[in-house]
C-alpha cells in the first residue's frame, strides 16, 4: 500500500475491510477476563469512590478483582484502601499490591518514593505509564478489572480504550444541571471507540436525614433517570452522600463500606458482563 494521503476519493484501497487492532498484550502469565472503565466528562464527581465500591463488592462476592489506577496525576486508590507499601519489581514484571481482602492494585503512588510527590509529566509519558500498568504488571487470575480513569477525553482515556480490551464503561455523574453535558462527552467518546456504555452512577445523589430518614437532594433533583433514557442506557444507580462512607475512605477502609448501595449494579455486572 502506498503512503496514505487521507484523500479517500483518490485511493483504490478499501481500508474499511482492514480492521487495525491496537490492543496491547498482557505480560506472560497474566490473566484478566473482564475490563470495565469508570469514566466521567469532568473531575470531582467521585470516580475513584465508585471504582473502589464496585471492586470491593465484586471481591466480596467471590470474584478475583483488580483496580488499575489510570489517574496518574491524581491517584487516590491506594490511600482509600489503606495501602502504605510499594509495588515490587521482579525481573521484567511488576507485582501489584494486594489489599486486605486480596484485591490486586496498581497505581503510580505505589512506585513513587513519596505519595505526595507530584507527577509532572507530559501527556504521552502519562499514557505510556498507563499502558505499562497493563503490559508489565503480573495480573493473576483477575475476573474483573476496574480502571479508574482521569476526567475528560484526553490522552489517557484514548490510550485505555485503544490499548486495553475494554468490555464497557460506567459513567459517573452528579445531580447538577451540567450532567447532560458530562454524560454526552463520555457517551460520544464510547461510541467513537465502539465500546458499550454499561450504565450511569449518580454520585452525591441525596443525603438521608439521620432524624427522619427523608432523602434530601442537596445538589438538586436527580437527573440520572432522564439522562439514561435520553441516551438509551438501561442501568443506573444513585449513591447518597454519607459521612460514614467518607470517614471509612479517609481511614483507608473502603473495603469495609456496606456494598448495598452498589449491589444492584454488581448484580448486573455478574449477569451480563
In a domain, 22, yes or no: no
Report the distance separating Cα 69 and Cα 130, nearest Å: 8
pLDDT at 152: 82
pLDDT at 42: 81
pLDDT at 223: 87
In a domain, 10, yes or no: no
pLDDT at 6: 45
pLDDT at 41: 80
pLDDT tops 90 at residue 178? no
Mean pLDDT value across the chain: 90
Return the top range by mean pLDDT from 22-26, 64-68, 119-123, 217-221: 64-68
pLDDT at 18: 47
In a domain, 21, yes or no: no
In a domain, 18, yes or no: no
State how many domains the chain has.
1
Domain span at residue 180?
A: 34-272
In a domain, 198, yes or no: yes
In a domain, 13, yes or no: no
pLDDT tops 80 at residue 15? no
In a domain, 6, yes or no: no
Q: Tens digit of pLDDT for each residue in 220-262? A: 999 889 889 999 998 999 999 999 999 999 999 999 999 998 9
Position 12 confidence tier, pLDDT thresholds 50, 70, 90 = low
**CATH code, domain carrying 76:** 3.40.50.300
For the residues 167-193, what does the mean pLDDT come to? 87
In a domain, 165, yes or no: yes
The predicted model scores a pTM of 0.90
Amino acid at each position: 500500500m502506498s503512503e496514505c494521503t487521507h484523500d479517500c476519493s483518490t485511493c483504490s484501497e478499501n481500508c474499511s475491510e482492514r480492521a487495525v487492532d491496537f490492543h496491547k498484550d498482557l505480560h506472560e502469565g497474566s490473566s484478566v477476563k473482564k475490563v470495565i472503565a469508570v469514566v466521567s466528562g469532568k473531575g470531582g464527581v467521585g470516580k475513584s469512590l465508585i471504582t473502589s465500591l464496585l471492586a470491593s463488592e465484586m471481591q466480596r462476592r467471590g470474584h478475583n478483582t483488580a483496580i488499575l489506577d489510570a489517574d496518574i496525576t491524581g491517584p487516590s486508590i491506594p490511600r482509600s484502601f489503606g495501602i502504605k507499601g510499594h509495588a515490587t519489581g521482579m525481573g521484567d514484571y511488576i507485582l501489584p499490591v494486594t489489599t486486605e481482602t486480596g484485591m490486586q492494585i496498581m497505581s503510580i503512588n505505589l512506585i513513587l518514593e513519596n505519595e505526595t510527590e507530584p507527577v509532572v509529566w507530559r501527556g504521552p509519558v502519562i499514557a505510556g505509564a498507563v499502558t505499562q500498568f497493563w503490559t508489565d504488571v503480573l495480573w493473576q487470575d483477575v475476573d474483573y478489572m476496574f480502571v479508574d480513569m482521569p476526567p475528560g477525553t484526553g490522552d489517557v482515556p484514548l490510550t485505555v480504550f485503544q490499548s486495553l480490551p475494554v468490555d464497557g464503561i460506567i459513567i459517573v455523574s452528579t445531580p447538577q444541571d451540567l450532567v447532560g453535558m458530562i454524560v454526552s462527552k463520555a457517551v460520544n467518546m464510547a461510541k467513537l471507540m465502539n465500546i458499550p456504555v454499561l450504565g450511569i452512577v449518580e454520585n452525591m445523589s441525596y443525603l438521608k436525614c439521620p432524624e427522619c430518614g427523608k432523602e434530601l437532594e442537596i445538589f438538586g433533583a436527580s437527573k440520572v433517570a432522564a439522562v439514561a433514557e435520553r441516551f438509551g442506557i438501561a442501568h443506573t444507580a444513585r449513591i447518597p452522600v454519607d459521612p460514614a462512607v467518607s470517614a471509612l475512605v479517609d481511614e483507608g477502609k473502603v473495603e469495609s463500606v456496606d456494598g448495598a448501595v452498589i449491589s444492584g449494579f454488581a448484580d448486573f455486572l455478574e449477569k451480563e458482563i
